[in-house]
Amino acid sequence: MAETPLVIAPNLKRRLSGVTATVVRLIPIQARMIAIRATGPGLPPEVPHIPLIQAATLPRDRWRVWHARRNTEMALGLILRHLLRRKYRLLFTSAAQRRHTGFTRWLIRQQDALVATSQKAASYLERPATVVMHGVDTDIFQPAADKTALRRELGLDPDAVLIGCFGRVREQKGVDLLVRAGLRLLPDRPRAQIIFTGRITADNQAFADGLLAEIRAAGLQDRIRFLGELPWDQVVRHYQALDLFAAPARWEGFGLTPLEAMACAVPAIGAHVGAYETLIRDGVTGSLVETGDLDSLTDALRHWLDDDAARQAAGIAARQHVLANHAIEGEARALVGIYNQLLARP
């Protein structure tokens, strides 16, 4: 390691999650701006990181920043500072849009500074927070050079109008709403297909099995498909293969998937949850639909499925919108500014 880190970003979860994805995509860019390292299990080699034991035994020669995004990481930061006497300024980023538990509120009160990923998330912190919205890496998430060839490589129909919904398969994500909208719309639209990517956990297996039974009963098992959990690079390629993205979640902390799709020039449909109202320009880069409302989702899908020209124009507008407002470099710079403020405290 060329230099001792000034900032540590823990990631105490091995499986891919929204928080893990944030760390994986953000740290390499921040590392160009400040000496930052991630720590925790299962991080890919391209992410600058150090072993957790090293993060816990850094010299006490100066203050550093411990940037937590989970309760466990806030708690570990407190242990490092108060039990192991490491000189860490404690920073927490919250995406949650709900009242926190008593334990979480206590952890939040111990932090030196707070970041929220949206104004709504900030309103639940009961302490001042700086709002820093997520961005996406527009060099990674970009339109495919040849979508037809890409689809052939991925085993997808090159002639389909392809709708995607990515993330863990569960009711919270509105997967059932999209399946049932598809059952309504696909019989009369032979080009339309839907793909889901994401893990099905044991507690959601019955939920998924019920949806698969409905799909089979309608004879649409070849056009509404669950692809399972894919490696990250394959998720990106599947975004690039899409014509339309749907995120009909019933609840969301921030919700990065519509931004990732839009960066690939794919219009996005999202419910009024998370930061979707800020990310999606209704009627321009996609549509906003009523939360949990099957009819609203069906109407939006119908509009974009039935108007190829409007869908393509919205895809172009979506890419331009992300480039102008939600590139990851802006998020990285804002966070580095907060790190520097904490490091400069007497």
pLDDT in tens, 152-204: 999 999 999 999 999 999 999 999 999 999 999 999 999 999 999 999 999 99
What pTM was estimated for this model as a whole?
A: 0.83
pLDDT tens digits for 117-136? 988 899 999 899 999 999 99
| Pair 334, 283 in one domain | no
| Pair 316, 337 in one domain | no
Domain that holds residue 36: 7-135+327-343
pLDDT band at 19 (very low <50, low <70, confident <90, very high): confident
| Pair 338, 294 in one domain | no
pLDDT tens digits for 288-329? 999 999 999 999 999 999 999 999 999 999 999 999 999 999
Question: What local confidence, expressed as pLDDT, does residue 2 receive?
Answer: 53
pLDDT tens digits for 233-278? 899 999 999 999 999 999 887 888 999 999 999 999 999 998 899 8
Distances (CA, A) of 118 to 126, 197, 252, 279: 14, 26, 12, 11
**In this structure, what is the dihedral angle of CA atoms 3, 57, 116, 170, given to the nearest 10 degrees?**
110
**Cα 12 from chain centroid (whole Å):** 17
Q: Distance (Å, rounded) from C-alpha 51 to C-alpha 35?
A: 15
Instruction: Say if 24 falls within a structural domain.
Output: yes
Nearest of 9, 282, 259 to residue 134 by alpha carbon: 259
Mean pLDDT of the chain: 94
Question: What local confidence, expressed as pLDDT, does residue 16 receive?
Answer: 63
Instruction: Say if 209 falls within a structural domain.
Output: yes
Q: Does the pLDDT value for residue 43 go beyond 90?
A: no
Q: Could you tell me what percent of the chain has a pLDDT over 70?
A: 99
| Pair 229, 280 in one domain | yes
User: Residue 16: phi, psi to the nearest 5?
Assistant: -65, 130
User: Residue 344: phi, psi to the nearest 5?
Assistant: -85, -5
Q: What is the domain count for the chain? A: 2
Question: What local confidence, expressed as pLDDT, does residue 103 receive?
Answer: 96
Instruction: Say if 161 falls within a structural domain.
Output: yes
| Pair 120, 233 in one domain | no
Instruction: Say if 203 falls within a structural domain.
Output: yes
CATH number of residue 219's parent domain: 3.40.50.2000
pLDDT band at 341 (very low <50, low <70, confident <90, very high): very high
Question: What local confidence, expressed as pLDDT, does residue 1 receive?
Answer: 42
Instruction: Say if 141 falls within a structural domain.
Output: no
